Structures are given as structure tokens and as C-alpha cells.
Chain A
Amino acid sequence: MQSDLLRTFTRRLFLDRQAAFWLDQLHATWSPREIRARVVEVITETPDARTFVLRPNRHWTGHRAGQHTTVEVEIDGVRHRRCYSISSAPSDPRVAITVKRVAGGRVSSWLHEHVRPGHVLRLGPAAGDFVLDPDPAEAAAPLLLLGGGSGITPLMSILRDLDDRDAVRDVVLVVHARRRDDVIFGRELEAIAARHAGLRLLVHLDDLDEARLARLVPDFAARTTLLCGPAGLMARVERMWATAGATARLRREQFAAPPVTVPAPGAPIAIRLAASARTVAADGAGTLLDQLERAGERPPSGCRMGICQTCKCRKRSGVVENLRTGAISSDPDEYIQLCISRGRSDLELAL
């Protein structure tokens, strides 16, 4: 209550804005609310993967091994956000993210090309439930960590955490990569394996199909499994675990959303309205504003021609086309103007 009052007071007197401005002027990582982190080290892990070691400001509240954070960068004046798994252990005051450069990836390329020690990045709080259950029964259960390519990053945090707490009892770590040069954290994994008799490290450079995986880890169905990797590998593993009736013991982290196919304009779409928990069926032909009004919704609107911003609303997910510019955008959590946007896939709006 008291803090609410204080917040209102500072906001109404613009003291929050003043504080944000002057803190930022004094020090690049100071901010009243934002999590900002200074890059203290950049490590080249493989030809296309780099680890950025960050020292976050006091707004960072730590992470659980396996979680990810949102990194926000500004490229040519526009802010972009991407999720990256944290590869450092929770006990480490320095937070590390390991970024694989994606062909045509704006943010990963920018991080690789521009970010050097001393740079400041904006972070979101750690999030995600790809973590080991603190429940002692699960902590004692045999583990299988299965990582493909850059999917090793959250598993690395988990392994470092176990190593930290000297809790590596019965762990199998399967690392899949195309070439030995592409194995991220190769040396450190070997060092940890050398320290713990309970860790079996299997680096697999060939295709990892069901038969091979069953041969590598015959008791896979009895292990709590954490899986993170490319879509193909994940689908194979899921099938295999389902067949063995072990789906309950499989936990997964998907990096990239499955590719969105953009249907032609006019294809039927579903618009989910998050605030009212309603789903509206639309034909994707007219503007979103028209579609919503036809369905009986009355979102705020004004000029109906894209100039007044009254109908601006947050799109949580989905693909929209800007009818004034023709731009098609699939970014999550972006603001759109309903009166000049056409839905090109199922959408979720914060209405």
C-alpha cells in the first residue's frame, strides 16, 4: 500500500523518469528498474558459438540451473529481444549466455559482431521451468542430459550446478554435434567428467537415431531426462520415450518456435483475446479492427486509417501484415495497430 502510494507519487511527479535518466547518465548499468548487465568477457567456444559473460546490476535476482533470460539489444535504433539459455551455475555471480550464430539471425549475428567486453545489455528476469526438481527423490534419481548443438547451454548450467554442489551421482550426458569442432564446452565437459566418476560423457558426432541412442543409454527409460536440441532430434526422442512409456520422465526445452507458415490472406484464423479469454474466429480478409468489431468486440479505435494510434495493442504471438507498408511480422510481444493490420496466422492479442 505504502509502496503503491510512493510509486504513484514518483510517477505523477515524473521523479521516476528523472531517476531513470540521471542514473543512466551516471553509470551505464544503473537503472531504477531495468536489469542491465555489463559484458565482462567474450569467449569463443566454437567457430559459430560465443559465450558472453555478464555482470548484472542489483535487479538481477539470480536463476535456477536450466533457465533462460531475455536479452534486449538495440540495432540501428530498434530494440530486439531474444531468449538465451544461461550456461553458468546459479552460484556464479557472473551470468553467462552462450549464443550460436544463426544464419540470417539478426540478433545472434549482432551479438557476435558488435558485443565486446564493456558493452551493456538489457536482460529480462530468468524464466523457464526446464530445471531439476529440488525434491530430494528426483535429485537422487539417475539423470540423462541430452543436448544437441547449442542445446547444451541449459544443460551446462545444470551440470555446473551439480558439480558445484558435488551432486553428480549417476549422470549420463549425451552431446550431439555435427563435428568435434562444433562441440560447445568440450574441454570443460571433459574436465568435469574427469572429476566425477558418476558422470558418463558421450559425445556423438554421427546421426543420432533411436537405435543408436538405445545402444548408448540402454536404461534411458529409467532416467529423468532433460532434452534440448534441434527440432528433428527432439521429435525422435519424444517418440522413443513415448513408445517406452517414459514421457513422464522427459523434460524438454525448445529453442526456436517451429517455423510459421504464413497462409494466404483470407485464410480462416483464430484470434485469441488474452484479457477476456475469448477466441474469435475470423476470415483473415479485412483489418483486425473490422474482424473484431464484426465479432462483437469493441476495442478502442479512432481514425481507422493508421494515424492516431488509439487502436494500438500488444500482439503476443502470431503473424500480421501491416496494410500500409506491406510488412509481415511474426515478432512476439510487439505493438500493432488493429486498423491497419491483417491477421496472417492465428493470433493472440493482449485485449
Chain B
Amino acid sequence: MTPPSRTLTRAEADAFGGELDALRAEVLADLGQRDVDHIRAVIRTAHRAEAAGRLLLHVGLGPVSFVLGSGALALAKILDNMEIGHNLMHGQYNWTRDPALDSSYEWDASCDAGDWRHYHNFEHHTFTNILGKDRDIGYGFLRVSPEQRWYPRHLSQPIVATFLAMNFQWGVATHDLRIEEVSSGKQTWAQLRERARPFLRKAGWQLAKDYVVFPALALGNAPRVVAGNLLANLTRNLWTFAVIFCGHFPDGVRFFHQDEIVDESRGQWYLRQLAGSANIEGGSTFHVMTGHLSHQIEHHLFPDLPASRYPEMAPRVREICERYGQRYCTGSFARQLGSVVGKILRYALPGGQRAPRAAKPAPVEIETVRERELARAA
């Protein structure tokens, strides 16, 4: 493993940020036909895979067409979630002014796109890996770092994590509801009801689509279609869980305390994004299947640049990191996933070596949009 990152002075951090800004500007100026051709090709593949999958499930007979159909549908859902949905919703293609490529995209998943844009684009990407601020750290119920306090409930986390992996889209969908805040008293039932509205609406339609409308269209083949949709959703859930957990939780990724980021400059923000993310190595098809979240580092540095540019930016980002003595956490899928599984098992138990922290007791109060909206509605 590479040595830990050198601590940079503010001036050094800003020079580091300046180099990344220059790289960003260079790619921004070069965006064009190639980028829209790429995303449209992926959209085309997803639509064709969905049509093929549904056709095989609806009119096919026998196990071969069932497995192929479910697989094609899973492929469509994975592409829609990752390379298409996640990336469009980040606004990576807003510069095209094509309404079909706009960040207002709604994806084929139970999570409401508006909820997602709020907690992911804003909260997670702004407050990445800040303990107590980034609710993506262990998603509020898993202990993936020794910095998180241990509670006896963490003993069950290997089972809980398996359950989450199988139903990942529902974890993603309910994440913005902050259900755990009801038991801790930070949120009332009435607030939860209000908050849950977009989720309930979206989830209802998704369930109706996959398990009522499409099966009904298949008439006698309805049970087969239900099973195929379940299998496709399960496949997508396991895949997205694996990719996303490898983004921030493998060894070599660090977490931050709120007092470490007081008065953070743009350069320091870049450093935190780098230190808080991990890449997965692989080929170009693998990268597309992960929505280029295999380039989690580049994604966190440049969340609004088309993700298909990350592979060509990565060597340059890495070179900049080396010059500034910064760790660039990357590894094979097996290594990163193994590391994440290891942590879920290890931190189910109390203890663990904590990283040293800078002590500056000045809690930051950062109000979220949703909190503001709810306060206004109340």
C-alpha cells in the first residue's frame, strides 16, 4: 500500500486545487459530439436490452429465455441506474441543452430522483466523508470505520449488510427519509410523513410497473414476468451495492471530523474528495457498467463532468497526486470489495485503530435545503 498522504499547507492545497481546476477547464472546453455520442449509445443499449428482456420474459418459454430475459432486463436497469441516471442527474450533460440528457432525469428505480439529487448531489458530494454530516458513511446503520461509535446493534451488521445488498434500491430510496431520526427524536412522525411523500409516490409506481402492469400484460406468463423482474432487480441491487460500497469504504479511505473542515478552501475540498474516495481498476465495459463510479476519485473531484472522461483524466490526476504526496487509493474489484467486506465484519465488533485527528472544537452548522423547506412548510 502507498504511504499515507502528506499534510499540505493551505497554500499547497490551493496550488493542488489550481492544477485540478486547470484540468477541469481543459476537459470542459473539449466537451462535444463524442460525449453525446457516447451517452446516446449507452441509452440505446439500455432501451434495446430492456425491450429484449421484456420480450423474452413475456413471450418466451423455458428456463433459457427466462435467464436471458432477466439478464437483459438487469443490464438495462444497471445502465439506467449508473451510467445514465446517476450521471445525467449530476448535470454532467446539462451543457448539451438536450432535454433527454438533462439533470431532471427520472430513473427506473424506487428512489425518487428529487430525493436523490438532494441527498446525493448536495449532501454527499458537498460533505463527503465528514462524520455526522455525510449520511452515506455506513448509511446511518453500518459501522465501516473505527471513528464511528460502536453500539451492540452493530453485531448484526454482517446480516444487515447482506439484506441491504439484496434490497439496495430500497435503501437508496428511503435514505433521504432519515427514518433513524424518528427514534432519536430529531424528527417527528408528521415530518417523516411529509418527507416520505415523493418516495411513496415513486415506489408505488415502480412496484406497479414491475409487479402489476407488466405481468398483467403477459397474461398467462405473469408469474414468470414477476419472477424475472424480481431477479433483474436483485441483480441490479447486488451490483450497485458492490460498486458503491467500494467507492468510499475500502482500506486507504479516510473520514473527517467536522472540526477539521472549518473554513475549508476549494483546494482543501479537493483534498478531502480525494482522500475520501477509492477507485476500482477494470476495462472500459466494466467502467460503463459501474457508471464510471469505478473512477470514484475523479467523480468526486469533478462530479459535473461527463463520467466517460474520467478514465482519460485519471492518469493526470494520479500524476498530480504523486507530486503533492497524496495517496491515490485504487485496486482491483476483488481487493476493494474484500476490504469492504472485511471492514463490515471487523467493525461489527467494538474497537479499531482510530486515525489521529486535529482537535479544533468548532462545530459547523450546515443547514440543508430540505430542512429549510420543511421549516418553511411547517
A interface list, Cβ under 8 A from B:
12-14, 17-18, 20-22, 25, 74, 76-80, 298, 300-303, 305-310, 312, 325, 334-335
Contacts and interface: CB of A to CB of B under 8 A. Distances in A.
A76 B100 CA distance: 16
B193 interface: no
A309 B117 contact: yes
Q: Is the interface of B mostly helix, strand, loop or mixed?
A: helix
A80 B96 CA distance: 9
Nearest 10 CB-CB pairings of A with B: A302-B122, A308-B122, A77-B36, A309-B91, A12-B205, A303-B126, A308-B121, A79-B97, A76-B32, A77-B32
A77 B35 CA distance: 7
Given A21-B43, A76-B32, A302-B122, A309 B103 contact: yes
Contacts of B182: none
A21 B43 CA distance: 9
B96 A335 contact: no
Contacts of A305: 126, 266, 269
Given A13-B208, A77-B32, A80-B97, 17 more contacts: A13-B209, A14-B209, A18-B50, A74-B96, A77-B31, A77-B35, A78-B32, A79-B96, A298-B376, A302-B121, A302-B368, A307-B121, A307-B125, A307-B126, A310-B121, A325-B28, A335-B97
A93 B369 CA distance: 51
Nearest to A307: B303
29 contacts: A13-B209, A14-B106, A20-B100, A25-B44, A74-B36, A74-B96, A76-B33, A77-B31, A77-B33, A77-B34, A77-B35, A77-B96, A78-B97, A80-B97, A302-B118, A302-B121, A302-B126, A303-B122, A303-B125, A307-B125, A307-B126, A307-B304, A308-B126, A309-B91, A309-B103, A310-B369, A325-B25, A325-B28, A335-B94
Interface of B: 25, 28, 31-37, 43-44, 47, 50-51, 90-91, 94-98, 100, 103, 106, 108, 117-118, 121-123, 125-126, 205, 208-209, 213, 266, 269, 303-304, 368-369, 372-373, 376
Given A298-B376, A301-B369, A310 B117 contact: yes
B108 A312 contact: no
A165 to B, nearest CB: 39
A300 B94 contact: no
A309 B304 contact: yes
A312 B25 contact: no
A174 B304 CA distance: 53
Contacts of B209: 12-14
A309 B121 contact: yes
A12 B304 CA distance: 26
A74 B47 CA distance: 22
Contacts of A76: 32-33
A130 B57 CA distance: 56
A161 B37 CA distance: 42
B134 to A, nearest CB: 13
B94 A309 contact: yes
A12 B209 CA distance: 8
A307 B47 CA distance: 29
Nearest to B43: A21
Contact of A306 (B32, B43, B304, B372): B304
A73 to B, nearest CB: 11
